[in-house]
Amino acid sequence: MGDTGGRTFCPRTGAAPMPRLALYALVVCALAVAAAVVSFVQGSFIGIVWILLAGLSSNMAWFYLRRSRAAKAAAVPADR
């Protein structure tokens, strides 16, 4: 399970696209932060749970991004 998309580079920039799972994790992180802000503004301490979810999802995004960069570095032979 992972990013098994067929595209390997972006036609406009030539750069590799961000892995899908990392992008989804970043979206979850942003939504969790927004939910935490709304919770705290309304006076609810359930925002603490949203903060924990934001931390978890940001760590997941970082992990998937680093994993894809390491896989690309291993796939491309170094020039000597």
**pLDDT above 70: residue 80:** no
Q: CA 52, CA 48: separation in Å to the nearest integer?
A: 6
pLDDT score at 77:
74
pLDDT score at 26:
95
pLDDT tens figures, 10-46: 556 555 667 899 999 999 999 999 999 999 999 999 9
Nearest C-alpha neighbor of 38 from the set 51, 48, 47, 49 = 47
Q: CA 43, CA 1: separation in Å to the nearest integer?
A: 39
Q: What secondary structure letter does DSSP report for 9?
A: S
pTM of the model: 0.70
**Tokens at 28, concatenated:** 């979850």
